[in-house]
Amino acid sequence: MDLPEFIRQVKDFDTLSHPDKIKHFAWWLHRHGSQERFDLTSIRGCYRIVNRQPSDNPGRDLTRLEARRPRELLKDMGGYRLEASVRDALDAKYLAHETVVIISALLKDLPGKISDTAERRYLSEAIICYKHQAYRAATVMTWNLAFDHLLGWILADAQRLSNFNTSVTKRYPQDKKKVNITVSKREDFSELKESEVIEICSKASLISDDLKKILHEKLVRRNIAAHPSLVEIARPQADDTISDLVNNVILALG
């Protein structure tokens, strides 16, 4: 993220004092400018990039931040750096926001990439859940959409479907109930557990080992989210689930 884009995310940036503006510039230099240390020249450059006028004495502003108690800026031979608690506070405020922006954009753009009308409608509800911080519901719905997409992808190709069917007994040779299972339509998958479908897809070489791992991990998370428990499903868990399933299943399995 470039500096002008970041500054647009800072509420009422132009009303901040110059020392507080410098803290935001410093955070951006640390997190996005790959600078563990910065100096007065770096800060002047930040003002210039965002077309803002610095104070009459930005060097004094740096000194004031260093002199605050508790300190907000530390200085050594290499230059200045934000004190850890200040950096952590800005991380919590802005890194989280960046992730929400990324996931929201991913979900917003997704409907246009999905041809199936039912999938688009279902996705629209998952987006509503995410935007309203209903992360359990968003997690469950995204899994359901991705898994249904996987089933449709198998059924859409005769060779994939044949490979799947021949791999049922290969994966479960001792299971008498599965010997006679032949999938020809979506409803037939109901004779198998979701975890078994994943295993059979892997046995049939329809999915990679990495995708198998992702699907198993996200199935576990879906199961946790789908049942009342004290386990919290917060935004980071929902972000991880949505990003993985959208990119590696919904978009990758066209």
Q: Where are the domains of the chain?
A: 3-94, 114-250
| Tokens (6 digits) for 52 | 């803002």
Q: Which long-range contacts (CB under 8 A, 24 or more apart) does 220-225 make?
A: 221/139, 221/143, 222/139, 222/140, 222/143, 222/144, 225/135, 225/136, 225/139, 225/140
Q: What would the pLDDT profile of 21-55 be if each residue is shown by its tens digit?
A: 999 999 999 988 889 999 999 999 999 999 999 99
pLDDT for 5 equals 83
Q: What would the pLDDT profile of 3-23 be if each residue is shown by its tens digit?
A: 998 898 888 999 999 999 999
Q: How confident is the model at residue 108 (pLDDT cuts 50, 70, 90)?
A: low
pLDDT for 29 equals 95
pLDDT for 73 equals 95
- Top-confidence residue, 106 or 172: 172
Stretch 58-64: mean pLDDT: 94
pTM of the predicted structure, to 2 decimals: 0.61
Stretch 68-80: mean pLDDT: 93
Q: Which amino acid would we find at residue 39?
A: D
Q: Are 102 and 14 in contact (CB under 8 A)?
A: no
pLDDT higher than threshold 80 for residue 165: yes
| Tokens (6 digits) for 89 | 């506070």
pLDDT for 94 equals 79
pLDDT for 100 equals 64
Task: Tell me what the pLDDT averaged over the chain comes to.
Answer: 89
Statement: 3-94 belongs to CATH 1.10.1330: no
Stretch 217-244: mean pLDDT: 86
234/133 Cα distance (integer angstroms): 9
Q: DSSP label at 250?
A: I
What are the residue ranges of helices labelled H in the chain? 3-9, 18-31, 40-49, 58-67, 84-109, 117-131, 135-155, 158-171, 176-179, 194-203, 209-226, 235-245
